[in-house]
């Protein structure tokens, strides 16, 4: 049986560098409106708080704030069954290779460009249901903040983001007829000829979506 309120936030930082990063990241989330302002030092009924920590981003000297939804006896990830989030299928190199083969067959030696668009903080653009928001309270330096967005560390985080991006890709392909679009994790990539390069339809779609989810 799950408790109404659960505090499992205690996880001492490993270094002053990690503590400084977490503090600056929380400030950043507050400015972006993804965290609520602090509501004090105590959880309210119905709230859960999981531990947070920093992990290095591969190939950089930067870090990412991760909320550990798998920690403890009453981990939030245990509330989500694997069956409910199964079925995420990522595009792969074979899909890209097939697209390149089709392009060469139809366009011969026409110049071709391949571009990749990185969506910064991809998961964090996805808003969560208010009843889930109160389950992912962030606790740091004696203060509590409600995290309103999808987190890095949630069992369903990838599924949520890909459900949204699949719709974006479908609109771009089926409605705007922008072919050869693929998505892998939080990256979108596309091959195109010079004529299509001049078409800003895809960028207009992404700019509009950015305004919607802010």
Domains assigned to the chain:
6-206 (3.10.10.10)
Supply the Cα-derived Rg of the chain in whole angstroms: 21
Two structure tokens written together for 102: 């089709």
Q: Is the dihedral of CA 96, 98, 103, 109 positive or negative?
A: positive
Rounded-to-integer distance, Cα 40 and Cα 200, Å: 47
Rounded-to-integer distance, Cα 89 and Cα 105, Å: 27
Distances from the Cα of 65 to the Cαs of 13, 20, 180, in angstroms? 12, 12, 33
Per-residue pLDDT of the chain in tens (214 residues, 90 and over written 9): 899 999 999 999 999 999 999 999 999 999 999 999 999 999 999 999 999 999 888 888 888 899 999 999 999 999 999 888 887 787 888 888 998 899 899 999 888 888 888 888 889 999 999 999 999 999 999 999 999 999 988 999 989 998 998 899 899 999 998 888 888 765 444 555 433 433 444 445 555 545 544 5
pTM score of the predicted model:
0.79
Count other Cβ atoms within 10 Å, centred on residue 102: 13
Rounded-to-integer distance, Cα 108 and Cα 133, Å: 52
């Amino acid at each position: 049986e799950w408790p109404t309120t659960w505090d499992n936030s205690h996880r001492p930082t490993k270094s002053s560098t990690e503590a400084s990063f977490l503090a600056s990241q929380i400030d950043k989330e507050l400015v972006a409106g993804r965290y609520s302002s602090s509501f004090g030092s105590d959880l309210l009924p119905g709230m859960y708080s999981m531990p947070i920590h920093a992990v290095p981003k591969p190939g950089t000297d930067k870090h990412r704030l991760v909320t550990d939804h798998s920690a403890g006896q009453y981990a939030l990830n245990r509330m989500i069954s694997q069956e409910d989030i199964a079925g995420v299928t990522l595009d792969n190199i074979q899909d890209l290779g097939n697209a390149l083969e089709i392009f060469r067959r139809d366009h011969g030696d026409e110049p071709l460009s391949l571009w990749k668009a990185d969506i910064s903080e991809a998961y964090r653009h996805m808003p969560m249901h208010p009843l889930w928001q109160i389950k992912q309270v962030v606790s740091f330096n004696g203060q509590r903040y409600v995290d309103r967005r999808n987190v890095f560390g949630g069992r369903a985080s990838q599924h949520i983001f890909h459900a949204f991006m699949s719709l974006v890709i479908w609109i771009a392909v089926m409605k705007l007829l922008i072919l050869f679009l693929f998505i892998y994790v939080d990256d979108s990539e596309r091959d195109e000829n010079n004529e299509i390069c001049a078409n800003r339809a895809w960028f207009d779609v992404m700019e509009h979506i950015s305004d919607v989810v802010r």
